[in-house]
Amino acid sequence: MGLEVSASAMLNAFIQWQEERLARAEDRHRRIEPLAFGAEFLGLDPRTDNSLTALEKYSQRQWADTKRFFGPAPNRDFQFDGRTLAFITPFDEESPGNRTVHCQVYEAAKPGHAVLIIPHWNSDGTEYDLYCKYLARLGITAACITLPYHGRRCPEGQTSGSAMISANLGRTIRTCRQAVVEAATTVEWLARRGHSHIGLVGVSLGTSLATVVAAHDPRISALALVSLASDFGQVIWNCRPTRHIRAALDGAITCEQLNSALSLFSPIHYLSNLATNGTAVLGISGRQDQVFAPPLTHRLLDALESAGVRHEHKSLACGHYTLGTFPFNLILGRAIQRFMNHEFNEGRPTSHNLPWPSGGRAGGKERSAA
């Protein structure tokens, strides 16, 4: 018994050391920007609407028709060279490099099953290449989209992703909406390629974006969420990677106000849509995750159960950053692949002609923890 306790304590200490080391590596690239409401990024008048109240009202107005707000861009001019899918973002962009959406695609031998990965904040996208190749060899076409202001879309002189989530709240709303619409447009392309079963994998920040996409598209039959939380604004307010944003907001706005302004991207508001669509959900989290704090994870899991969403949850003995390291990355990678295969083979096929439903913000069915 004593040896077991000692081994467990040593593992926990090692995980905490790894989490701190990986977090510090990211901290070096953070810089504090002043609070800005960014009305111009939302089509609002900076002279009269440059306030938190205007942002909150803007977000509330969009709940009347989230189908329109998050719908895929029509008539995209897709360019595909066999590996990279590219198209022009439907958003007016002040940064030329961010205008072109890039998505790495690894096609399986036959069409039918496809997965789109929406990666974590600050990702350059290449971290998922090996996993995409793995899925393709197993018969699942795998694609990974580059988020706005990330990788080759990042403006010169900036850190990848720093302009996507920042103390400029209007730009944050516009850019997160942009990411959702671009992912939805990529799903449209995958459906056109003849894939009858489509799944989404969201990682960290990508879990919020993936949930919004899946909630509005009945063609998505399976949704895997790696590091999940109920409320987008609370994650930004409380987690370590966004301390520099919190430093700019403190004293000017509260957590509740931030959560209200960013409510369009909080997964907990879309669970009734997932239940209606019959989307299956797999959640994977680390028990020592201090970025997507366990209370926010459990709040979302409880809401999934209440809303009647078919789901399961796997909890691993690691933290947020160490989910992406050996051996936890192998465990979660295999779990996602098995989940997708099960849903694709046992679940319902995609209809290529289903319309997007209107948005909802209610609450979720059975919960299985591992």
Query: What is the pLDDT, as a whole number, of residue 29?
Result: 67
For range 119-135, the mean pLDDT: 93
pLDDT digits (tens, 9 = 90+) for 15-36: 888 888 887 877 666 777 899 9
Buried b (16+ CB within 10 A) or exposed e, 250-268: eeebeeebbbbbbbbbbbb
Query: What is the pLDDT, as a whole number, of residue 353?
Result: 39
* Residue ranges making up the domain that contains 294: 2-346
Which candidate, 131, 144, 128, 133, places its Cα nearest to that of 186? 144
Q: What are the start-end ranges of the E strands in 216-270? A: 220-226
Q: Is 354 within a domain?
A: no
What totals of helices (H) and strands (E) does the chain contain, helices first? 12, 9
Query: What is the pLDDT, as a whole number, of residue 28?
Result: 66
Q: Is 367 within a domain?
A: no
Of these ranges, 46-50, 119-123, 278-282, the one predicted with the greatest mean pLDDT is 278-282
Q: What letter represents residue 15's amino acid? A: I
Q: Is 54 within a domain?
A: yes
Cβ atoms of 202 and 118 closer than 8 Å: yes
Task: Report, in angstroms and rounded to the nearest whole number, the Rg of the chain calculated over CA atoms.
Answer: 20
User: Which tokens go with 179?
Assistant: 């990411």
Q: Is 73 within a domain?
A: yes
Q: Is 149 within a domain?
A: yes
Q: What is the largest CA-CA distance in the chain?
A: 67
pLDDT digits (tens, 9 = 90+) for 137-181: 999 999 999 999 999 998 887 877 889 999 999 999 999 999 999
Asked if residue 284 has pLDDT above 70, the reply is yes
**334: CB partners within 8 A, 6+ apart:** none
In the chain, how many domains are there? 1
Q: Is 93 within a domain?
A: yes
For tokens 């447009």, name the residue.
185
CATH number at residue 91: 3.40.50.1820
Q: Which residues pair with 280 in a beta bridge?
A: 222
Q: Is 223 within a domain?
A: yes
Query: What is the pLDDT, as a whole number, of residue 349?
Result: 53
For range 190-218, the mean pLDDT: 97
Q: Is 358 within a domain?
A: no
Q: What letter represents residue 111's amino acid? A: P
